[in-house]
Amino acid sequence: MLEDIIEVEDEDEYKTEHEKAIDNLLKNEQALIDARDDYFLQQLKTKGLEPMYIEEGSGNCMFGAVSHILYGSELAESKVRKETCDFMEVNQEFFTDLMVCDKGFDFARYIQTLQNNGRQADTVEIAAIAHLYGRDVEVYNSTLGDGFTPYTYTPSYNKLTHTEPIRLWYVSQNHYNALINSNLDLDE
């Protein structure tokens, strides 16, 4: 390769002072984010919650996190996605009331798009999952407030009793990981 023949000079040598200052700010910002997330994870561990990291960048992370909690693996993410879309389709009126929709909003098209592998999901789909599976869904967000008080989606019907909530960790950049209660004996 050409790099092996020609000695590659330090890229920083050609950057302006402004570009170097921006690089330093970005490094410092990332260090702050990492420190915040480390502190957040330490606090979650005191509550007995352990993160299960879900693949980033696929657009399937929220469904994968729920799949991991319900089925012990993120491999059933397409099943969770399909069940969620089917449930929303059957209960269209309920979910369009939750959404702020412009006149002429095409809910059927929204569901059709959501069915595609890689299509990101968010709060409306989390509400649907709470109703569909009859479980509270707790979303911990390390980027807002103290992050340790979850936002809870509670199903208004079909609620199962004596079940652990589905716990998600919303990480910056539109990504979800699963949170598992490490105090549970999974063999029971």
Instruction: Give pLDDT tens digits for 28-40.
Output: 777 777 787 888 8
C-alpha dihedral sign at 85, 91, 96, 99: negative
**Where do the domains of the chain lie, and which CATH numbers do they carry?**
16-181 (3.90.70.80)
Give the distance from CA 83 to its chain's centroid.
Answer: 18
The yes-or-no verdict on residue 181 having pLDDT over 50 is: yes
Q: What is the pLDDT of residues 67-81, one digit of tens each?
A: 999 999 988 999 999
Question: Which of 12-26, 85-99, 170-184 tops mean pLDDT?
Answer: 85-99
d(CA 168, CA 142): 11
Q: 54 pLDDT band (50/70/90 cuts)? A: confident
DSSP-assigned beta bridge partners for residue 181: 49
Question: Higher-confidence residue: 157 or 139?
Answer: 139
d(CA 138, CA 112): 26
Report the pLDDT value the prediction gives residue 66, as an integer from 0 to 100: 97
Please answer whether residues 177 and 49 qualify as being in contact, where contact means their C-beta atoms are separated by less than 8 angstroms.
no
Give the distance from CA 33 to its chain's centroid.
Answer: 17
Report the pLDDT value the prediction gives residue 99, as an integer from 0 to 100: 81
Enclosing H/E stretch for 3: helix 2-5
118: nearest Cα among 168, 76, 78 = 78
d(CA 3, CA 66): 45
The yes-or-no verdict on residue 2 having pLDDT over 50 is: no
Whole-number percent of the chain with pLDDT over 70: 86
Q: 187 pLDDT band (50/70/90 cuts)? A: very low
The yes-or-no verdict on residue 136 having pLDDT over 60 is: yes
Please answer whether residues 51 and 182 qualify as being in contact, where contact means their C-beta atoms are separated by less than 8 angstroms.
no
Report the pLDDT value the prediction gives residue 100, as an integer from 0 to 100: 72
| HSE of 51, CA atoms in CB hemisphere, 13 A | 20
